[in-house]
């Protein structure tokens, strides 16, 4: 079975054209995608609304997740490990290249613990690093 189908089925989503195409986009790009990227890359082949709804259901199922960025543009990323393992652990560092502006999931770099002031209880931490990526250096 194709990887795309597998992922969709595992998450109890029916396998439709738009979902397959969008999921394939994520699998191809090892970075993160914004809503606009997705509309562009699929060549306007389906409705803007479908993109919204597809992304939303992917997020709900935990297949992709939002990445916080410094300029607060909204990006989504699928992280290989998560999806193949079937359980979600997105506590890795995200890297955004200042040169090519790609967003990359550093699956192997986990977010370090920090000591918080008295009274604060941490639950989840997110970390985003900006700089120059592997390809642009």
* Sites of contact with DNA (CB under 7 A): 9, 13-19, 35-36, 46-50, 52-54, 56-57, 74
Give which of a copy of itself, DNA, none residue 15 binds (C-beta under 5 to 8 Å, depending on kind).
DNA
Collect all residues with Cβ–Cβ distance below 8 Å to 137 and sequence separation of at least 6: none
Q: Provide the minimum distance between the beta carbon of 114 and DNA in the complex, in angstroms, as a whole number.
A: 29
Region 79-108 residues binding a copy of itself, contact defined as CB under 8 A: 93, 95, 98, 106, 108
Give which of a copy of itself, DNA, none residue 125 binds (C-beta under 5 to 8 Å, depending on kind).
a copy of itself
The candidate with the shortest Cα–Cα distance to 105, out of 85, 60, 62, 75, is 75
Q: Give CA torsion, residues 122, 126, 128, 134, to 10 deg.
A: 120
Bridge partners for 106 per DSSP: 93
């Amino acid at each position: 079975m194709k990887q795309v189908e597998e992922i969709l089925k595992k998450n109890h989503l029916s396998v439709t054209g738009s979902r397959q195409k969008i999921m394939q986009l994520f699998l191809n790009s090892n970075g993160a995608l914004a809503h606009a990227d997705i509309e562009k890359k699929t060549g306007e082949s389906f409705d803007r609304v479908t993109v919204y709804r597809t992304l939303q259901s992917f997020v709900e199922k935990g297949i992709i997740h939002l990445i916080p960025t410094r300029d607060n543009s909204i990006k989504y990323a699928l992280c290989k490990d998560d999806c193949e393992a079937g359980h979600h652990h997105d506590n890795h560092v995200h890297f955004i290249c200042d040169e090519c502006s790609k967003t990359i999931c550093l699956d192997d770099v986990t977010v370090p613990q920090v000591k918080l002031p008295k009274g604060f209880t941490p639950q989840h931490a997110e970390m985003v690093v900006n700089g120059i990526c592997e390809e642009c250096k």
